[in-house]
Amino acid sequence: MPSICFYFQVHQPFRLRNYTYFDIGHSHDYEDETANREILNKVATKCYLPANRVLLGLLREHKGAFQISYSISGVALDQFERYNPAVLDSFRRLADTGCVEFLDETYYHSLSFLYSRPEFREQVRHHRDRIKTLFGQTPTAFRNTELIYSNELAREVEDLGYTTILAEGADRVLGWRSPNFVYQPAGCLKLRLLLKNYRLSDDIAFRFSNREWPEYPLTADKFAKWVHQINAAGEVVNLFMDFETFGEHQWQETGIFEFLKMIPGTILAHPDFGFLTPSEAAAHYTPVAQVDVPQYVSWADVERDLTAWIGNDMQDDAIRSVYDLEKAVRARNDPELLHAWRQLQTSDHFYYMCTKWFADGDVHKYFNPYASPYDAYINYMNVLTDFGQRLAAGGEQRPPPVSTRKTKSAKPRNPVTPTRRAAAAKQMSNVKQSPKVGRGRPRPAAR
Amino acid sequence: MRVLMFGWEFPPHISGGLGTACYGMTRALAQHGTEIVFVIPHMSGSGRGSHVRLVAANREPDGTAEAPGTASDVTTLLRHIELREIDSILAPYLSAPEYRRVLEVIESRVRRRAAASVLTARTDYGRNLMAEVARYSEAAERLALTERFDVIHVHDWMTFAAGIRAKRVSGRPLVVHVHALEYDRSGEKPNKDVFALEKLGLEAADRIIAVSHYTRSILIERYEVPPEKVSVVHNAVSRRKAGTVYHVARPRGEKVVLFLGRVTFQKGPDYFVEAAARVIEKIPSVTFVMAGVGDMLPRMIERVGQLRLGRNFHFTGFLRGEEVERMYAESDLYVMPSVSEPFGISPLEAMLYDVPVIISRHAGVAEVLTHALKVDFWDVTELANKILAVLTYPALSRELLRNGRRELQAIRWDVAADHIQAVYQQVCP
């Protein structure tokens, strides 16, 4: 009996305010509070609240036959709590139905796995604790930021005790094989792998309202027919998508909510089909084969690789610079600084710096608060420079961390070089040479 | 298709964007098979003799900035372009006061010579700029009577009267190409005579080509031109032969930020100086170069003194040919903070020398350039912020240049020539 497995990604980054070179050393306030609140409330009104209302109704109506799952980033949870607690309540009510699974991810929606293993573990633990507190569940399934995945990640996640992991069903991962089965990650014993059926997922997430698409308009009947066609040729159809699909990417006017309301009923109309959550699906089916993924895959862009976040000079420089600060941050042992550092790890900051305009430019621009990737990089580096100076200034009061950090982190590409550190130091010295910074000469941050 | 074109400058004497554009454009048009009778004002020095000098266009470009790539290029060029010179002291960007000064110099020279040869001391040049423009148009009319052509193409206001008269005597359609408007040059205080002549030319035109959407919207809003009459054809940049790009070894550590252009209201040199002051506060070792001349230059020098930035500033005066190339090659960053820039070719030239650029959002070139930093010219803090970022974060320049090189490939004169030929087809089907 084949199952449908729905997973919705919920994430909102803390966007940075316009932070110029002249703010360095003067202001340690990095967030664009207004924009973050406005965007969160807008998306809550258009998507989170109405979509959760629809889903709650469906879960009650189908009495256990319909099930769904969410992965909500820690930074999104923080913003719900701060700006719109009603959203948090709506998720709690969903959790209370017992038909909703919450997945784990890195709290800060970061790429920490690629740069620092200890940091990755801490962020995952932090997320697990938060989900337990909020929803009373201890997650058993894991999805990494933007479905970034590799053999190595799978092994790490198995070590952390999870039973299930999610990834993109990219062609270069699967080859001729179907995503509609449970797989076993290469090198793992107990962990199960669920792969996104990107055709059916993207039919909803990207093509639903596209009038150029030959299948437009997409009805629940048509979609259910496609799903039912896999009968006997597959066991689990993994429909993974951004939750904002409902009401934000596909506006209410497109009929997306009506579509959503019809989906469980039309799929369940076929007696062989049901719904499961990721962990249930992984437990229910036997893996048909091992999947070997030595190189990273993700769910972004046509390339399905890491180049949306790292790969150009600016992105590499920015992300290495932030992880270069790890040792200094930890040495300060200050929760506030640690939190600020971690917020700077959120993958969106690097996504905004992507210069792959030509193929996927539209999507990148749509989600980008900056006029250009260059502006994004400049703003980020200004903030990071100030943050680095705060660490250095504080370090003077304590024994300064001198040796260059070397963690056991897996390097996805080139190794971290110490030159950034030198560049940062040089830049700081430039500022100190300045004769006119009297008021704002970098000083130890208030503790 | 044979075009009577009233243009500006011809190699090797090119002094600015207008001449560069005319040359790049005519060369590409010639390569696409368009025949051009290219008419330019040319000061004979004597002011005597025939107004029109027929020149066999066999003057070989001398290999400076805009030299064509290959020998066959030159051949094509010469087969399709015939150069005609009208004796006149008109020059691109000439203002009324500048015209008077030029005239005085010439007249004193003529007087000296006359004193020596006992001839009457006088020149035929107009008493003022408008009179000279009128005189030029009379000569243009006579020339139009003797030439064979299908369409008339003029570039900016000083040639508009010539185009109108050539159209009247020949009955051929007129294409008016707008590179800059009085509104760009003078802002809210336009010279009434120039503005009036611009309006006349725009009205007489069968078709108008604007160098950017930015300029097109000014034509529509400020000059009340019917929108359907204006086509946009972006300018481009001529590529040099591989290997001819100037490279200099420069001492590391000392960063150079360049402004290169006329030092006039339109180009925003004052914003460059104010931003420089803010940059130097943070990085005292940066050198700022202001290359060019113009009516605002004395004020800029004064302001730099006032701000005590003399140690950080170089004023080079007017640069030509190889000096320009060298200047680009020595710079770490090119800044064009124009208040109103219809197009602006120079950032593209800077990019050819692997120099990253910051450009005003109020520039036509911003419409074709994605991989440049863009600022509102009045936002001095943001301009300084971006200059500091380029100087501080090396990955920024690397990324700008890597993508910019690819982008430049598409900004070619032969693309522009295609569009211009399409406009010719519209007016003479």
Tell me the shortest Cα–Cα distance from B396 to chain A, in angstroms.
6
Cα–Cα distances (Å) from A101 to A6, A56, A94, A142, in that order, read: 10, 13, 9, 11
Please check whether residues B232 and B264 belong to one and the same domain. Answer: no
pLDDT bin (cut points 50, 70, 90) of residue A47 is: very high
Please check whether residues B170 and B271 belong to one and the same domain. Answer: no
Please give, one letter per residue, the 3-state secondary structure of chain A: CCEEEEEEEECCCCCECCCCHHHCCCCCCCECHHHHHHHHHHHHHHHHHHHHHHHHHHHHHHCCCCCEEEEECHHHHHHHHHHCHHHHHHHHHHHHCCCEEECECCCCCECHHHHCHHHHHHHHHHHHHHHHHHHCCCCCEECCHHHCECHHHHHHHHHCCCCEEEEECCHHHHCCCCCCCEEEECCCCCCEEEEECHHHHHHHHCCCCCCCCCCCCCCHHHHHHHHHCCCCCCCEEEEEEEHHHEECCEEHHHCHHHHHHHHHHHHHCCCCCEECCHHHHHHHCCCCCEECCCCCECCCCCCCCCCCCCCCHHHHHHHHHHHHCHHHHHHHCCHHHHHHHHHCCECHHHHCCCCCHHHHHHHHHHCCCCCCHHHHHHHHHHHHHHHHHHHHHHHCCCCCCCCCCCCCCCCCCCCCCCHHHHHHHHHHHHHHHCCCCHHHCCCCCCC
- Partners of A194 in beta bridges: A166, A182
The terminus-to-terminus CA distance of chain B in angstroms comes to 10
Residue B353 lies in a domain: yes
Tell me the shortest Cα–Cα distance from A20 to chain B, in angstroms.
6
What's the CA gap between A237 and A234, in Å, rounded? Answer: 8
What's the CA gap between B331 and B354, in Å, rounded? Answer: 9
Among the candidates A291, A325, A358, a domain finishes at: A291
Averaged pLDDT for residues A250-270: 96
pLDDT of A369: 87
**For A321, nearest residue in chain B (alpha carbons):** B393
How large is the ipTM? 0.84
> Which positions in chain B touch A422 (Cβ < 8 Å)?
none
Please check whether residues A107 and A254 belong to one and the same domain. Answer: yes
Strands B81-87 vs B52-54: parallel, antiparallel or unpaired: antiparallel
Which of B358, B360, B383, B392 best tests the A interface by mutation, with the highest count of A CBs <10 A?
B392
Please check whether residues A268 and A355 belong to one and the same domain. Answer: no
Find the CB nearest B396 among A21, A374, A423.
Answer: A374
Contact call for residues B353 and B328 (beta carbons, < 8 A): yes
Find the CB nearest A374 among B384, B388, B400.
Answer: B400
What's the CA gap between B426 and A159, in Å, rounded? Answer: 72
The angle formed by the CA atoms of residues B268, B274 and B277, to the nearest 5 degrees, is 145
For B346, the domain range is 256-408
Residue A447 lies in a domain: no
> Which positions in chain A touch B400 (Cβ < 8 Å)?
374
Please give, one letter per residue, the 3-state secondary structure of chain B: CEEEEECCCECCECCCHHHHHHHHHHHHHHHCCCEEEEEEEECCCCCCCCCEEECCCCCCCCCCCCCCCCHHHHHHHHHHEEEEEEECCCCCCCCHHHHHHHHHHHHHHHHHHHHHHCCCCCCCCCCCHHHHHHHHHHHHHHHHHHCCCCEEEEECHHHHHHHHHHHHHHCCCEEEEECCCHHHHHCCCCCHHHHHHHHHHHHHCCEEEECCHHHHHHHHHHCCCCHHHEEECCCCCCCCCCCCCCCCCCCCCCCEEEEECCCCHHHCHHHHHHHHHHHHHHCCCCEEEEECCCCCHHHHHHHHHHCCCHHHEEEEECCCCHHHHHHHHCCCEEEECCCCECCCCHHHHHHHCCCCEEEECCEHHHHCCCCCEEECCCCHHHHHHHHHHHHHCHHHHHHHHHHHHHHHCCCCHHHHHHHHHHHHHHHCC
Stretch among A231-245, A287-301, B103-117 having the lowest mean pLDDT: B103-117
Please check whether residues A392 and A345 belong to one and the same domain. Answer: yes
Please check whether residues A284 and A351 belong to one and the same domain. Answer: no
Residue A302 lies in a domain: no
Tell me the shortest Cα–Cα distance from B36 to chain A, in angstroms.
37
pLDDT of A423: 44
> Which positions in chain A touch B283 (Cβ < 8 Å)?
430, 434
Query: Cβ–Cβ of A433/B284 closer than 8 Å?
Result: yes
Tell me the shortest Cα–Cα distance from B233 to chain A, in angstroms.
22
pLDDT of B77: 65
Stretch among A25-39, A380-394, A404-418 having the lowest mean pLDDT: A404-418
Residue A306 lies in a domain: no
Model confidence at A286: pLDDT above 50: yes
What's the CA gap between B161 and B201, in Å, rounded? Answer: 7
Query: Cβ–Cβ of A436/B382 closer than 8 Å?
Result: no
Q: Is B51 on the interface with A (CB under 8 A)?
A: no
- Number of residues assigned to chain A: 447
The residues, ordered by sequence, that sit 6+ positions from A334 with a Cβ below 8 Å of its Cβ are A394, A447
Indicate which CATH number applies to the domain containing B131. 3.40.50.2000
Contact call for residues A180 and A2 (beta carbons, < 8 A): yes
The angle formed by the CA atoms of residues A17, A23 and A24, to the nearest 5 degrees, is 110
Which residues of chain B register pLDDT less than 50? 45-70, 241-243
Cis omega (within 30 of 0) on the bond before B68? no
What's the CA gap between A217 and B396, in Å, rounded? Answer: 44
Please check whether residues A130 and A60 belong to one and the same domain. Answer: yes
For A375, the domain range is 313-440
Provide, rounded to the nearest whole percent, the portion of chain A with pLDDT above 70: 86
Query: Cβ–Cβ of B373/A372 closer than 8 Å?
Result: yes
Residue ranges of A 298-317 with Cβ closer than 8 A to chain B: 312-314, 316-317
Model confidence at A404: pLDDT above 70: no
Please check whether residues A131 and A233 belong to one and the same domain. Answer: yes
Please check whether residues B57 and B175 belong to one and the same domain. Answer: yes
Burial of B238 per CB tally in 10 Å (0-12, 13-18, 19+): buried
pLDDT of A431: 36
Query: Cβ–Cβ of A377/B282 closer than 8 Å?
Result: no
Domain count, chain B: 2
Angle between helices A373-395 and A419-433 (to 10 degrees): 80
Residue A269 lies in a domain: yes
Please check whether residues A254 and A175 belong to one and the same domain. Answer: yes
Please check whether residues B276 and B227 belong to one and the same domain. Answer: no
Query: Cβ–Cβ of B389/A355 closer than 8 Å?
Result: no
> Which positions in chain B touch A312 (Cβ < 8 Å)?
399, 402
Please check whether residues B13 and B59 belong to one and the same domain. Answer: yes
Please check whether residues B214 and B286 belong to one and the same domain. Answer: no
Output the pTM of the full model: 0.85
Please check whether residues A50 and A195 belong to one and the same domain. Answer: yes
Model confidence at A412: pLDDT above 90: no
pLDDT of B67: 42
Q: Is B322 on the interface with A (CB under 8 A)?
A: no
> Which positions in chain B touch A313 (Cβ < 8 Å)?
395, 398-399, 402
**For A378, nearest residue in chain B (alpha carbons):** B389
What's the CA gap between B248 and B328, in Å, rounded? Answer: 10
Query: Cβ–Cβ of B392/A357 closer than 8 Å?
Result: no
pLDDT of B239: 76
Please check whether residues B260 and B291 belong to one and the same domain. Answer: yes
What's the CA gap between B168 and B141, in Å, rounded? Answer: 9
Query: Cβ–Cβ of A375/B371 closer than 8 Å?
Result: no
pLDDT of A284: 96
Cα–Cα distances (Å) from A171 to A168, A174, B21, B269, in that order, read: 9, 5, 49, 55
Contact call for residues B269 and B300 (beta carbons, < 8 A): yes
> Which positions in chain A touch B282 (Cβ < 8 Å)?
21-22, 430-431, 434, 437
Among the candidates A235, A256, A291, a domain finishes at: A291
Find the CB nearest B399 among A355, A430, A434.
Answer: A355
Please check whether residues B162 and B33 belong to one and the same domain. Answer: yes
Please check whether residues A246 and A152 belong to one and the same domain. Answer: yes
Cis omega (within 30 of 0) on the bond before A217? yes
Model confidence at A196: pLDDT above 90: yes
Please check whether residues B303 and B315 belong to one and the same domain. Answer: yes
Q: Is A372 on the interface with B (CB under 8 A)?
A: yes
Residue B244 lies in a domain: no
Report the 10 Å Cβ neighbour count for A114.
25
> Which positions in chain B touch A318 (Cβ < 8 Å)?
395
Average model confidence (pLDDT) across chain A: 88
Residue ranges of B 263-292 with Cβ closer than 8 A to chain A: 278, 281-284
Dihedral over Cα of A332, A337, A343, A349: its sign:
negative
Query: Cβ–Cβ of A377/B393 closer than 8 Å?
Result: yes
Find the CB nearest B283 among A313, A318, A430.
Answer: A430
Residue B251 lies in a domain: no
Please check whether residues A91 and A146 belong to one and the same domain. Answer: yes
> Which positions in chain A touch B386 (Cβ < 8 Å)?
378
Q: Is A21 on the interface with B (CB under 8 A)?
A: yes
Tell me the shortest Cα–Cα distance from B340 to chain A, in angstroms.
21
Please check whether residues B120 and B265 belong to one and the same domain. Answer: no
In one-letter notation, the amino acid at residue A367 is F
Residue ranges of B 401-420 with Cβ closer than 8 A to chain A: 402-403
Angle between helices A74-83 and A33-43 (to 10 degrees): 90
> Which positions in chain B touch A320 (Cβ < 8 Å)?
none
Residue A125 lies in a domain: yes
pLDDT bin (cut points 50, 70, 90) of residue A316 is: very high
Indicate which CATH number applies to the domain containing A121. 3.20.110.20
Tokens, residue B241: 């032969």
> Which positions in chain A touch B281 (Cβ < 8 Å)?
434-437
Residue A441: which of A8, A20, A1, A24 has the closest Cα?
A24
Q: Catalytic residues of A, which ones? A: 146
Provide, rounded to the nearest whole percent, the portion of chain A with pLDDT above 90: 80
Query: Cβ–Cβ of A377/B384 closer than 8 Å?
Result: no
Strands A246-247 vs B357-360: parallel, antiparallel or unpaired: unpaired
Please check whether residues A336 and A287 belong to one and the same domain. Answer: no
Contact call for residues B15 and B9 (beta carbons, < 8 A): yes
Query: Cβ–Cβ of B389/A435 closer than 8 Å?
Result: no
Residue A350: which of A382, A387, A388, A380 has the closest Cα?
A380
What's the CA gap between B309 and B275, in Å, rounded? Answer: 12
Averaged pLDDT for residues A323-348: 97
Please check whether residues B175 and B49 belong to one and the same domain. Answer: yes
The angle formed by the CA atoms of residues B170, B203 and B167, to the nearest 5 degrees, is 5
Domain count, chain A: 2
Residue A249 lies in a domain: yes
Angle between helices B380-392 and B394-408 (to 10 degrees): 100
Tell me the shortest Cα–Cα distance from A405 to chain B, in angstroms.
22
Residue A408 lies in a domain: yes
Averaged pLDDT for residues A143-154: 97
Query: Cβ–Cβ of B399/A375 closer than 8 Å?
Result: no
Find the CB nearest A317 among B373, B388, B393.
Answer: B393
Q: Is A22 on the interface with B (CB under 8 A)?
A: yes
Residue A105 lies in a domain: yes
Find the CB nearest B396 among A314, A371, A430.
Answer: A314
Find the CB nearest A312 among B281, B284, B399.
Answer: B399
- Partners of B375 in beta bridges: B360
Please check whether residues B290 and B175 belong to one and the same domain. Answer: no
Please check whether residues A206 and A340 belong to one and the same domain. Answer: no
pLDDT of A383: 98
Averaged pLDDT for residues A104-111: 98
Tokens, residue A383: 């903030």
Model confidence at A413: pLDDT above 60: no
Tell me the shortest Cα–Cα distance from A431 to chain B, in angstroms.
5
Residue ranges of A 217-236 with Cβ closer than 8 A to chain B: none
Query: Cβ–Cβ of A381/B393 closer than 8 Å?
Result: yes
Residue A147: which of A179, A125, A178 has the closest Cα?
A179
Contact call for residues B387 and A361 (beta carbons, < 8 A): no
